[in-house]
A and B are shown apart, each in its own frame.
Chain A
Amino acid sequence: QVQLVQSGAEVHKPGASVKVSCKASGYTFTTYALHWVRQAPGQRPEWMGWIYGGNGNTEYSQYLQGRVTFTRDTSTSTVYMELSSLTSQDTAVYYCGRGLGYYGFDYWGQGTLVTVS
C-alpha cells in the first residue's frame, strides 16, 4: 500500500532553515510527483510546489520562490523540502502529498509540525 512517512517535528529560531523529509513506499517512486502543502494553525492548506520523482524537475509557488528547495533521493525514494529565512509566518504543519496528475493529491504524509519561535 502507498505510504508517505515524514520526519518529526522541528523547532527553529527566526532566520534559520529547516529540512523536512518524506519517504515514499508502495509505488514506483519515479513515476509520480510529490507535492508539498503547508497548513498554518486553523488555516486553509497552502500549496508550496512539487518535485517529480523521475527527473527531479521542480515547480515552486511564487510566494515562496527563492526560499524553498525540493530535492529527491531515488535510492531511498525520499523527497526533501528545505525552507530558509524562517519567520513566525512559516509556523505550520508541512505535508507531502502524491500528485495524481492535475487531479489532486491522493496520498498524504502524516505531517511535520515546524515551529518558528
Chain B
Amino acid sequence: QSALTQPASVSGSPGQSITISCTGTRSDVGGYNYVSWYQQYPGKAPKFMIFDVNKRPSGVSNRFSGSKSGNTASLTISGLQAEDEADYYCSSYTTSNTWVFGGGTKLTVL
C-alpha cells in the first residue's frame, strides 16, 4: 500500500499558525471523507486529533482544525504552543477496504 505524502518537517513560533498537508489519491483521501489525524510524542501511542476530515473528538483543543481539497487533506494548528511539538500523521480509509498512513511530519515549535 502506498503511503500518503506529508512534509517531513514544519516549524513555527509560539502563537503562530502552521498547516501540514497530506496528499493521497482518488483511491483514498480524494475518494472519501474518512481522513483522520494523529499526534504522537516520542515513545507514546498516537492520539486521535481529527476525524471525518474536520471533526474534533471530545477533549481536543479547537486550535486544531482539518480540511480537504481534492486529494489533499490539511491539518492546521493555530496559536502554536510548546506542547504541540510532536509528530503528526494523517490516515485515510481506502477503496481496498484498508487504512493507510502518511509518512509523518515533525512539528518544531521554535
Contacts and interface: CB of A to CB of B under 8 A. Distances in A.
Contacts of A111: 45
B64 interface: no
B103 interface: yes
A44 B57 contact: no
> Interface size for chain B: under 10, 10 to 19, 20 to 34, or 35 or more residues?
20 to 34
Contacts of A109: 45
Interface residues of A, number: 23
B26 to A, nearest CB: 16
Given A35-B99, A44-B102, A103-B36, 10 more contacts: A44-B89, A45-B101, A95-B46, A104-B34, A104-B51, A106-B51, A108-B45, A108-B48, A109-B45, A111-B45
27 contacts: A44-B89, A44-B101, A44-B102, A45-B38, A45-B46, A45-B91, A46-B101, A47-B91, A59-B97, A62-B96, A95-B45, A95-B46, A97-B46, A100-B48, A100-B51, A102-B32, A102-B93, A103-B34, A103-B36, A103-B51, A104-B34, A104-B36, A104-B51, A104-B99, A106-B57, A107-B48, A108-B47
